[in-house]
Structure formats: structure tokens, C-alpha cells
Amino acid sequence: MSRILTFSKALNEALHQEMEQDEKVFIIGEDVAKMGGDFGITSGIWKRWPNRAYDTALSESAIVGLACGAAVCGLRPVAEVMFADFIGVCYDQVVNNAAKLCYMYNGQASAQLVVRAVTGGGIRCAYQHSQCIEPWLMNVPGLVVVAPATPYEAKGLLVSAIRSNNPVIFLEHKGLYNTKGEVPEELYSLPLYQAHLEREGTDITLVAGMTMLNFAQRAADELAKEGLSCEIINPRTLCPLDKDAILNSVAKTGRLVIIQEGPKFMGYGAEVGSMVSEALFEYLKAPIRRVTSLDTPVPFAPVLEDYVLPQYPDVLKACREVMAF
Amino acid sequence: MSRILTFSKALNEALHQEMEQDEKVFIIGEDVAKMGGDFGITSGIWKRWPNRAYDTALSESAIVGLACGAAVCGLRPVAEVMFADFIGVCYDQVVNNAAKLCYMYNGQASAQLVVRAVTGGGIRCAYQHSQCIEPWLMNVPGLVVVAPATPYEAKGLLVSAIRSNNPVIFLEHKGLYNTKGEVPEELYSLPLYQAHLEREGTDITLVAGMTMLNFAQRAADELAKEGLSCEIINPRTLCPLDKDAILNSVAKTGRLVIIQEGPKFMGYGAEVGSMVSEALFEYLKAPIRRVTSLDTPVPFAPVLEDYVLPQYPDVLKACREVMAF
Amino acid sequence: MALSKERLVKIYEDMVLIRRFELEVEKYSKNGTIPGFIHLGVGQEATQAGILAVLRKTDYKFPDHRSHGAIVLSSDPKDRPRIMAEIFAKKTGLNGGRGGSMHVNDLTVRNMGFNAIEGSVVVTGLGTAFASVYNHTDDVTAIFMGDGTLGEGACHESLNMAATWKLPILYCVVNNQYAISTPVSESHPQKQLATWADGYCVPNEVVDGNDVEAVIPAVERATARARAGGGPTLLEFMTYRWQGHFSGDPAAYRPAGELERWKEKDPLKLTERRLLSEHGVRETDLEQIQARVEAEVAGYVQFALASPDPDPADAAKHVYADIEVEAR
Amino acid sequence: MALSKERLVKIYEDMVLIRRFELEVEKYSKNGTIPGFIHLGVGQEATQAGILAVLRKTDYKFPDHRSHGAIVLSSDPKDRPRIMAEIFAKKTGLNGGRGGSMHVNDLTVRNMGFNAIEGSVVVTGLGTAFASVYNHTDDVTAIFMGDGTLGEGACHESLNMAATWKLPILYCVVNNQYAISTPVSESHPQKQLATWADGYCVPNEVVDGNDVEAVIPAVERATARARAGGGPTLLEFMTYRWQGHFSGDPAAYRPAGELERWKEKDPLKLTERRLLSEHGVRETDLEQIQARVEAEVAGYVQFALASPDPDPADAAKHVYADIEVEAR
Ligand SMILES: Cc1ncc(C[n+]2csc(CCOP(=O)(O)OP(=O)(O)O)c2C)c(N)n1
Ligand SMILES: Cc1ncc(C[n+]2csc(CCOP(=O)(O)OP(=O)(O)O)c2C)c(N)n1
Ligand SMILES: [Mg+2]
Ligand SMILES: [Mg+2]
């Protein structure tokens, strides 16, 4: 039976249901236990499992380090570092420890943990609370970076992240927490490393995840009125990326527009674009386009932040240009 | 008057000459003063300027944080973090502080500092002493990432890095320290943000920096025997990247092979490839090729590390494939 | 030694200014005029005003996320409306509206601004203190940091280096009992956080953060030591934030009665009582001060409300010191 | 209380094994057979052997970069040749040659291995200790860390959390006087590093790291406290490394005579004297032990030399627990 839930509630439900069925799962982070998390994602867990929910000091390296050690002992830590920008202070634990433990242990053990973090801009929190930090983590073999776009994905992918034997950085876009969607009551999981074909189309492939998926869907609707057929691919897992899903789509449409929040230069769209242009050189009917943020920090004032972030009209413009080429 | 110097000595000379002409310059880091640095790059400085050379505890966040604060006060810190992999422990200071200070201060002040770090593989030091960490830093607006390939560049670019009012991450590839080349005795600087056209050619553009430049040159010589003319672009500054230099070259040759150490996925070659394929869609005669490391950590055993790192024959193969397309 | 009447009156006015400023900010944050998150310092006025009363204009000041008061007091009065404008995200803001509540900096008075990563300025402050020594000046560096922030590894690297090199730093640990919802006792092992500095042989004091007459002498001792080359001092100011962590936080994690008990220790009331009983100040004098400050802050708000939004294209400025990035 | 003759003889043999092992490693590193960097523990045998003599197989052990000895002693004798083979970068190495000197791990005896980022395992160790508590076992976590490593912020986050939660951790601070070229006094403010733990209300001791009869009781006290739920202990072992930081480092930074003074405190000689004078052991007994160990280690080297290189393609294995990455 499925009902309409918010993205936040879907995440919360995933945590409750996984805590229920695997006692090796525990949560740890700042204010995640008694208060239920800064954004309420872990609410109710401490009440039900007081010995499996831990509030910590402001010590992100300790949080992730502890999670690594506990994971190697067979536990399944779900750590929260609040804003993803804070991964900066525990970056070493993520890229030099968690990411490499499976390799260092020859597969005998691995950092089977989840680090939940709130990514992205839009709520006027400026420089160090608004970044899309995905690219910080995508050139690091051993890491898995997951980025759900809907409540349904939020629950199903978080469940898979918790069950995964790899270190998963689970990115929750703050702009999605209050979005609503159908979510099955029962426990289910969605596969990692698989993109989702959101919509079939024949003229342009739009690659877009998290909040950008909404831009893609709006654009597809609007362009449909102009007789243009967009196919939409939502990566779901940013790294390792489901290359085939993207390649199969572009092989069909011959056109690609990547919609990505965060600075353009070295954003994940760069890899998508290179990968596609290398593999589908003869299939491409037009240059690939990337719709992204400007290459600047994220400022506070709404008019400034909006100027920096990708805007919906940019998507339409890019699609029309690609078609007009 | 110029003589043959090693890459290491060229760096050391740049530091001495800049220390001489600007008393606001000081060096700080682990073992950089009395011992002259783990790799000897700062040798002799503490003897001449005991009050401008500081050995620190193992505290990379404090080293970079101190450099940020001192820089904002008008000093010009040259910090060393030894192996670039260690940037993990001070990553926050680099990406959330140094990179953003100019923006946060509305240009009134900035983190006019240099962070020197030893990057790359090849000396059998395994997982956390062998990484090419450039991509960790290239999606961070405000940062400058410089990567010299020759002794001449090492001196001229380090001088510019020290004089720059931006935070410069200065990457020294451990495989280059003992390489020799012509270096003018007098103080000179080479421009930041400008790639260098190493060799003119008409058939293929090779983009390669640091140790990979040598691969490119060897390949160009060898392919010349087959009547193939390679143009070689050495980026020198990886970020902000000299896009025009690369675009002008590929517009001419129509073919691009990027040679980059470090994992392929989300390596800097991804941005170069996307940027070129977007801008030069109609000029490209063949798919772009990236010669890179495998998407794995860097292991210890020579046979394993060599398997992971890009190999010279890979370059020839890529070039021939691009031509044969 | 007690403060002179003049000084105490002045500082009372400073505290009233902070209280007033915060309540106005709260009002316009609650009604949606001010974007983003807001952290209020109501209840902590004595700590902020006391510290700023001792610091010089040339001392380096690192506020934290709950330091509107310290920021206002550090700036030249003529610039204070621009602080409100910054919080209101306006073009006339001290930073052109690009920073907002957590990021107001003013280099003209060496308010170095806050980097919203807790613990970050604690190491950045090493650099300003280092510069004072390097340049042979006696300017000190004062770093505001909460009790929770003490959990960050950066704090250790900073205290360790400052102690080893005897850098002129004041670690102003504002212990308001909580880090968001987490009480100090659940994140730190010490009875008093100040004793943490014992592990680094750094002089430290526990100070009643609600009593300016306790705050000021402690800060004077610490600054004197620092200026004389005696190195860093860690001061733990015991105080309490009346509102939740951010404006809007119901603070359900607080035990019943706790807030009320602390309100009895209201730093403003405490000083008022002293002024009335010990310094022969009259109720009407206090009312005049309050009225003057109220008008003053109302002026800030008017200025902020009347100010234009920033020019969007300014968002692309100052990414680098020397080169422009692509704008729209 | 002094150790029994049997126990002291056994530990003497352990120390001889470490010394022998290190000298062989040095030889094959110097002649280029062993690739990469090597950090030797000659001079620190009593600290390593003493700690390992107390720890159980089920205790979690985090060696550091100078811990060949602890690694060898923690492993089952039958696996010890494979440790040498790992250092020699061979397929038969405990980790298939992918890790080498700094990264030997052996999960069968809970040697969790070292992550070459100083300070990293100090927080990873929180997790193994946490798991012991979570699973209601009394296994302790022992973390080797040098004096220099104490500068890392991670150490603060670890000690703070371990102290607050009373986690069963032994912080084994091996104070060998230097971090590469930098003497302790230039990077830390304390006279004794152990007192750093006072700032966290964590019990701590300064121990003669060259005397197993001082090391063992101290470690026994600390492990007993940890197993009983008494929380962490920090032990500072005073010792000295005879060679440079890495094999090849001339260690020019050492004042003349320092090494010689420490050699007089040679942990092996100290124990030999005790065995001869207090336990009636004969010179010939000691020579037998030395000969036996020499043959033993020679066997490790033979095994390593005779072993094949890894299969190159193995380099692409185990990047992820469940999926393969592209190989050549
Ligand atoms: C590195 C980092 N971790 C977490 C946060 C989120 N955060 C902001 S304020 C805060 C609580 C700080 O508590 P404290 O230091 O006591 O200051 P207070 O809010 O009580 O004034 C937290 C956890 C952050 N900004 N930076
Ligand atoms: C984060 C980090 N910084 C620096 C280094 C480089 N490094 C390796 S060992 C070492 C010195 C460590 O000294 P100490 O902790 O006293 O151990 P010792 O070598 O004396 O046994 C340094 C600086 C590192 N590996 N990791
Ligand atoms: Mg607090
Ligand atoms: Mg040492």
C-alpha cells in the first residue's frame, strides 16, 4: 500500500524500517538522536532504540572515523554530517579511509557505512551551507555517491545504501525535503548503480538528478507542446555512474543536455559529457550542452544566489539551441 | 645566464629569491625549516631567515588556517603539506576558507598564499602517498591549481604563485624532482592561467602536464617517424584552465588525446574533453581519447602500481586509434 | 575592582543595543523579511559587550555564528546600519548582501568575519596572531567559539600551536550550555570546559558570562598577558541563549524551568540593579538610554528596509583577486 | 612486581625478533630489494613487545608506520613470513603485496592495519571500541601513535569522544623524541605529553618505554580499566628510534652524543642484564635465543625472496565490495 509522503518522511521511514530488521544498524551524528536531526530525518529513532542512536560532539572526523571502525567490525553505521559542506572537515576520513578500506583489506572487510549529508543551494545559507559537493567525492575510487530525486527514491535508495557493503555518501538535497510523492509503506529497495529512465523520448536526452529533475520534467512538458520529445535520465547513483543508461539514450536521441546544480567547471556533467562524446562520436547530432551554476561561491542574498544557480529558462534555451543546431 | 638545474633546485632557488625580495614571504610546514623539507625543497632558507621559516607540529589544518589568517594581514605564506594526499586533513581550510576569503571579503582581502604539495605516484608509497589529488580541488571556485612540468616552469610558476593574490595550490610531482633542465639564474616569473604550447603540430593535439608531458613528447617523436605531427599543450595552470590555448589547438588539429595521471572518472581530462567537444563539435575529426590511470586506489607493489598508472604505450595506442578513426 | 559609573553606563547601553538589535532581527526573520538562518545572542549580551569593551580597534576579532552583538559593537557607529542591511540581504550591507547574518565582516575595524564551518576561524586566528608577532605589534586576536565548537579537531591544532609558540590569542569559549540540542555534558568530559586548556599548559578561567563586571577584568587579564608576550588564554564564559539554536527552533530539548532560572540572571537586569543601587543612576536615566537605543536600532531597520537589493551580476565579482569568472 | 623468568625470557625473544626483523628489512631496503619507504623501530622494541605481550588476540590493534614489530608479534607465527613477503611486495604477502611496510593488516588477529595518514586510525579506533561496547564484549582497542601524531586534530576528537563515552581505548603514545626532524619540545607545549590527557580527565602515565618491566604493568593497568568499563587511558612511552625517520634518513638533526646515550638504554641489553643477574640465565641461553630468532627471520626473508610478484590484474580487485572496476 502506498501513500503520499514527503521526501523527509520517506527517509525517516527507511531508517525506522531498516533499524527494525537489522540490529547492526545504528545512527550517529550531531543532534540525530534526542532531537531527531536538524531536519528531522532521524526523528523517533532514539525513542525506539535508545542504544542505537548517538548524539555526538561537533566532531565530524570522529563521527566518520568511528563509523569506519564500527563498519569493519560488522556493524552498519548511518552517520549524518548535517550540511554536506561539512564533509570538508572529515574529508580525509571519507576519501583516504572509508573509500580505501575494502581495497586495503583485500575485500576481507569494508567500510559498510552511510554518510548522510544535506547538499545544494536555494535556502539562502551562503558560502558554506549551500554547495553541491558531489564533485569533491567523484574522483575517489571506492566511494559510492547516491543522490535521490523523489520521496520514492529517497526511501528505496537509502535502504540499499544501508545494506551496501560499500561506503555510501547519501546526498539529500535540502530543496527536496518538503516535496511529496507516492511511497510504498512496506520495506523496499531500489538498486544502486542504476539510473532511472524517467521519461522516454526521441529528440533530446536530458540527464538530471535531485532538484534538477524537476527542471527537466517541466522542460520536457513545455517542449512537448512544441512537438519536441525529451528523454529524461535520472542518474540516482552519481558514482559509480550508470554509463550504459546514458549511452543507450543518447545513442537513440543523438542530443544531450546535462542539467546540474553546482559550478560547471569539473562538475559531474563534465564526466557525463566526455564519456558520451567519446563513446557516441558518430551518433551526436549536436554539441552537448551543460546547464549549471556559475563558477562562483554561493552568495546569500536571494537575487545573488538565484543569479548563480541554474535557472529553469536556461534549460529551455539549451534544449532549443541543441535542436536548432 | 641559465644553467642546468634539477626541478627541486629550481623550486629552492625560486623560494630563496622571493624571500630575498619580499620580506612578507615566509615558509611554514612540517620539517620545512631546520631540515629544509622532506624533499629538500626549502633547504637553506631557515639558515638565512631564521625568523621567516617555521617548523610546525603535525597540524595541517593549523598550517593552512594560519596561512589564511596571515595572508589576510598582508603576509605571503608559502605553506607545505608534504604529500598532497594530506590535503585531506586540511581540505576544509582549503576549499571552505582559503578559496572563499576573497569572495567573502568582497575583494578587500584574499588568501594570498601558496600551499605546496607533492602529488602523484610512481615511488611505491601506496594508497595515501601516491594520489593525483588535482580533481579534489578543481570544482572549487576561488582556488588556483598550478602544476609545473619542467625545472624552468617550476621556478617561474612558483614565483608567480607566491606573488599571486589568490590561494594557489602548487603541485609538485614527485616523479619530477630529479629531472633536469635549463633554468635562468635571475629571478623571473611565468604567467599563471596560461598553458604552454610545447610543440606545434597539425594532426593531433596532446594535452599533458607534469610527468605526462614527457610521455607526450616521446610519443610525438616516435609518431613523427610515422609521419604524424603532434601538437603538445601543457596546461601549467589546471584551474582556472587556459581553455583558449586548448581550443585553438584542437580547432587546428581536429583531434585530441588527453594524457592524465590519476583515475579517469572525473579526472581533469573529463572537463577538457567536455569543454572541447562542446566548443569544437564540427571541428573534431575523431573521438577524443583520455589516457589515464585505472579507477582504483594506487597499490604498493611495483607491478601493481604500474598496472594502475597510465603507461607510455597507451599513449601511442590512443594516438594511432584517433588517427585511424 | 568595580567599574566606574561612566564605564558601566556605557556598557549597559551596549548591552541594550545588542538586545534591541537581536529582537528586531528576530522580528524580521520571523515575518520572512530576512532570508536564511538566524542565530540570536539574547541572554549573552554581557559576554559580547564585555569582551568588545576591552578589545581595541586594531585587535583581530573573529565572531561566531551567534555574534551579531560583537559585530555591531566592533563597527564604527556610522556603519552599524549597514550591518542590519547586510542581514537583510541588501546592496547597502557591509558586504553587499552576499554574506548575511553569519558572515558580516568589517576589515576597517578588524572584524575578520565568520566562516560558517565551526572551528575554522579557530585556526584562521592563528594567522592574525602570527602576523602581530611577525610585524612586532601588540595586537591580540580574540576568537569567539561556542561550547560545542570545542569538539572540532581544529581547536586542538590551534591551542597546541598557540601554546607552543605563545601566540597572542584569546579563546573566548561562550558556554551557553548547548550545541543545538546537545548539552555540554553529553559532548565533553570536563566539568568545566576551561580545564581543557590545562592539557596545553594554557592559562584559563571560568567567568560569569552574564556579569560584565566579571567579564571585563578577565578579558583585561588575558589581553594584558597576550600583549606582553605571555601567550594565549582560554576564557570560558558561563551564559545561556534565551531563544532556540536558530530563530524558529522551539528548543524542546530544554528541561522545564531552565530558561526561567537563567532569565533571573538576565545580564541587563543585573547591571540595571547595580547602576540603580550602587551608582545612583535613576530609572529615568535607564529609560532614556533604552529609548535612545530603540530609536537608533529602528533607524538601522529603516535603512535596511529602504535599501535596494544587490545587483545580481555582482554575484560573479571577487571570485578571484585578479581575474573575472564568466557571468551570465 | 617483576616478571617471571619464563615471561621475561619469552619477551626477550620477542624483542630480539623485532630487532632482527628490522635489521633484515633495513638491509633489503638499502640494497633496493624492498621498494618504497621503510620506517624502522630499532630501539623501540620494549614498547612494542611489552604492549603486545598484554593484548589479547581479540583486542583491536592499530599499528602505526613504525610498527613492524607489533605487527609481527600480533600475527600467528605461521603467518609471519607473509609479513616479510608483504614488505617485499610479493604475491604471498599478507595483503598480496598491495600495501607494503606501512599497511600490513591481519584481520584474523585484529591487526586493523595502518592508514598512512597520521591521526586517521586514532579516530577509526573509536569505531572498534564502540563495537566492543555495542556487542557487549570486553575487547579493548590499542592505538599506536607517535609524539608528532598528537598534533593532529583527529586526536582531539578521538580523546574527547572516548573520554565522554568511556570507550575501551589505550592511546599508546610512543614518544621517541622526534617527528621526522622536529623535536617534541618544538611542536608541543607540555613537558610530558601524557599530561595532555589531563585536559580530558583521562588517566595517563609516563612509562619507561625501553623497559618491558615498566611497559607491561602500565599496559595491564590500562587494559584492566578499559575492560572494566573505566574508559580510555593514555600511556606515554619514552623511547628513541636509533635510525633516521625512514631508512636512509641521515638524521643530521640529532645533537651529537644523543644516539649514543640512548644506546646505553638499549631495551635488549637492559633485559639481558636482568636475565643474567636476576634470573640466573646464562650467556649461552641468550645466544641460543638469538641464533634461533636469526634463523627464523632468515626463513622469512628466504620465503619473501622466493615468492613471486603479484598478478598485475589483481590491482583492479576489491575497489568495491560488490562490483568490478574496469581493468586493462
Ligand atoms: C564543522 C561544522 N559542524 C557542524 C555545524 C552545524 N552547527 C552550526 S552551529 C552548531 C552548534 C554550535 O554550538 P556552540 O559551539 O555551542 O555554539 P552555540 O550555537 O551554542 O552558540 C552546529 C552543530 C557547522 N556549522 N560546522
Ligand atoms: C596527516 C599526515 N601528516 C604528515 C604525514 C607525514 N609524516 C609521516 S610520519 C611523520 C612523523 C610522525 O612522527 P611521530 O608521530 O612522532 O612518529 P615517529 O615517526 O616518530 O615514529 C610525518 C610528519 C603523514 N603521514 N600524515
Ligand atoms: Mg553552545
Ligand atoms: Mg616520534
Residues within a 6 A CB radius of ligand 1: A 30, 58, 60, 82, 86, 89; C 65-66, 116-119, 146-149, 176, 178-180, 245
pLDDT number for residue D1: 62
Q: Are B138 and B94 in contact (CB under 8 A)?
A: no
Domains identified in chain A, total number? 2
What is the Cα–Cα distance from C86 to A219, expressed in whole angstroms? 35
What confidence tens digit (pLDDT) does each residue in B5-37 have? 999 999 999 999 999 999 999 999 999 999 999
- A203 shares a domain with A178: no
Residues 6+ apart with CB under 8 A from D284: none
- A249 shares a domain with A132: no
DSSP A291: E
Average pLDDT over residues B297-319: 98
- A293 shares a domain with A263: yes
The minimal CB distance from C152 to the residues A55, A59, A300 is found for: A59
pLDDT number for residue D326: 94
| Cell (9 digits) for A300 | 546569500
Triad D98, D99, D103: Cα angle to 5°: 165
Question: Residue ranges of chain D with pLDDT lower than 50?
Answer: none
Question: Sheet holding D60-62: strands in order across?
Answer: D60-62, D141-146, D169-175, D233-238, D204-208
What is the Cα–Cα distance from D309 to B30, expressed in whole angstroms? 35
Cβ pairs B/D, distance under 8 A = 135
Among D37, D103, D117, D150, the strongest candidate for a mutation testing the B interface, having the largest count of B CBs within 10 A, is: D117
Residue A64 falls inside a structural domain = yes
Residue A22 falls inside a structural domain = yes
DSSP one-letter string for D154-187: HHHHHHHHHHHHT--EEEEEEE-SEETTEEHHHH
pLDDT number for residue C1: 62
- A269 shares a domain with A247: yes
- B278 shares a domain with B225: yes
Q: Are D126 and D169 in contact (CB under 8 A)?
A: yes
Residue B137 falls inside a structural domain = yes
pLDDT number for residue D2: 85
Q: B278 CB near a chain C CB, below 8 Å?
A: no
Side chain identity, residue C236: E
- A159 shares a domain with A74: yes
Cis peptide before C183 (omega within 30 of 0): no
What confidence tens digit (pLDDT) does each residue in B77-100 have? 999 999 999 999 999 999 999 999
Look up A129 and say whether it is catalytic.
Answer: yes
Radius of gyration of chain C measured on its C-alpha atoms: 19
Q: Are A274 and A292 in contact (CB under 8 A)?
A: no
Name the strand (E) or helix (H) holding A16: helix A7-21
CATH code at position B251: 3.40.50.920
Distance D239 CA to ligand 4 centre (A): 9
What confidence tens digit (pLDDT) does each residue in A94-113 have? 999 999 999 999 999 999 99
The pair phi, psi for residue B276, each rounded to 5°, is -70, -45
- B84 shares a domain with B109: yes
CA dihedral B246, B250, B255, B259 (to 10 degrees): -10
Q: What is the mean pLDDT of chain B?
A: 98
* Subunits close to D (at least 3 CB pairs below 8 A): A, B, C
What confidence tens digit (pLDDT) does each residue in B97-120 have? 999 999 999 999 999 999 999 999
* Subunits close to A (at least 3 CB pairs below 8 A): B, C, D
The minimal CB distance from D124 to the residues A68, A77, A105 is found for: A68
DSSP one-letter string for C8-37: HHHHHHHHHHHHHHHHHHHHHHHTTSS-S-
Answer with the one of A184, A219, A240 that is the final residue of a domain. A184
Residues 6+ apart with CB under 8 A from B300: B124, B125, B126, B127, D35, D36, D89, D97, D98, D99, D100, D103
Nearest-10 crossing angle of helices D5-30, D283-306: 40
Q: What is the mean pLDDT of chain C?
A: 97
Is C48 in a helix, a strand, or coil? helix
Distance C152 CA to ligand 4 centre (A): 24
Q: Going from the N-terminus, what domains does chain C have, and what CATH number goes with each?
A: 5-311 (3.40.50.970)
| Chain D nearest CA to A4, separation (Å) | 33
Give the Å distances, CA to CA, from C5 to C53, C208, C276: 14, 20, 10
Is A253 in a helix, a strand, or coil? helix
Tell me the whole-structure pTM to 2 decimals.
0.98
CB-based contact B58 D149, cutoff 8 Å: yes
- Report every protein residue that has its C-beta within 5 angstroms of ion ligand 4: D 146-148, 176, 178
Q: Among D149, D156, D176, D187, say which to mutate for ligand 2: greatest number of ligand atoms within 8 Å of CB.
A: D149
Nearest Cα to Cα of residue D104 among D135, D132, D82, D129: D82
* pLDDT exceeds 90 at position C316: yes
Residue A189 falls inside a structural domain = no
| Cell (9 digits) for A309 | 544557480
Q: Are B172 and B119 in contact (CB under 8 A)?
A: yes
> Which residues share a beta bridge with A79?
A28, A115
Q: Are D259 and D196 in contact (CB under 8 A)?
A: no
Q: Are D41 and D18 in contact (CB under 8 A)?
A: yes
A15 C-beta neighbours (distance < 10 Å), count: 27
Q: Tell which atom from ligand 2 comes closest to the C-alpha of D152.
A: 1
- B96 shares a domain with B167: yes
Q: Are A58 and B92 in contact (CB under 8 A)?
A: no
C280 C-beta neighbours (distance < 10 Å), count: 9
A144-146 and A237-239: which strand pairing?
Answer: antiparallel
Residue A190 falls inside a structural domain = no
Answer with the one of A117, A152, A184 that is the final residue of a domain. A184
What confidence tens digit (pLDDT) does each residue in C113-142 have? 999 999 999 999 999 999 999 999 999 999
A-contacting residues of C 190-249, CB under 8 Å? none
Protein residue with its CA nearest to atom 19 in ligand 2 = D179
Is A147 in a helix, a strand, or coil? coil
- A162 shares a domain with A216: no
* Host domain of residue B254: 196-324
Residue B222 falls inside a structural domain = yes
Q: Does ipTM come in above 0.95?
A: yes
- A168 shares a domain with A62: yes
CB-based contact D314 B124, cutoff 8 Å: no
Residue A313 falls inside a structural domain = yes
Q: A267 CB near a chain B CB, below 8 Å?
A: yes
Q: B96 CB near a chain A CB, below 8 Å?
A: yes
Residue B158 falls inside a structural domain = yes
Q: Among B28, B30, B56, B58, say which to mutate for ligand 2: greatest number of ligand atoms within 8 Å of CB.
A: B58
* pLDDT exceeds 80 at position C63: yes
* pLDDT exceeds 90 at position C200: yes
What confidence tens digit (pLDDT) does each residue in B188-216 have? 999 999 999 999 999 999 999 999 999 99
3-state secondary structure chain B: CEEEEEHHHHHHHHHHHHHHHCCCEEEEECCCCCCCCCCCCCCCHHHHCHHHEEECCCCHHHHHHHHHHHHHCCCEEEEEEEEHHHHHHHHHHHHHHHHHHHHHCCCCCCCCCEEEEEECCCCCCCCCCCCCCHHHHCCCCCCEEECCCCHHHHHHHHHHHHHCCCCEEEEEECCCCCCEEEEECCCCCCCCCCCEEEECCCCEEEEECHHHHHHHHHHHHHHHCCCCCEEEEECCEEECCCHHHHHHHHHHHCCEEEEEEEECCCCHHHHHHHHHHHHCCCCCCCCCEEEEECCCCCCCCHHHHHHHCCCHHHHHHHHHHHHHC
Nearest Cα to Cα of residue A273 among A281, A197, A195, B138: A281
| Cell (9 digits) for C113 | 568575519
- B87 shares a domain with B141: yes
A180-184 and A237-239: which strand pairing?
Answer: unpaired
pLDDT number for residue C2: 85
What is the Cα–Cα distance from A206 to A320, expressed in whole angstroms? 12
Q: Are B149 and B213 in contact (CB under 8 A)?
A: yes
Residue B183 — very low, low, confident or very high, per pLDDT cuts 50/70/90?
very high
CATH code at position A6: 3.40.50.970
Q: Are C170 and C226 in contact (CB under 8 A)?
A: yes
pLDDT number for residue C281: 97
Q: Tell which atom from ligand 1 comes closest to the C-alpha of C118.
A: 26
Answer with the one of A123, A157, A184 that is the final residue of a domain. A184
Half-sphere exposure of D247 (CA within 13 A, CB side): 24
- B246 shares a domain with B130: no
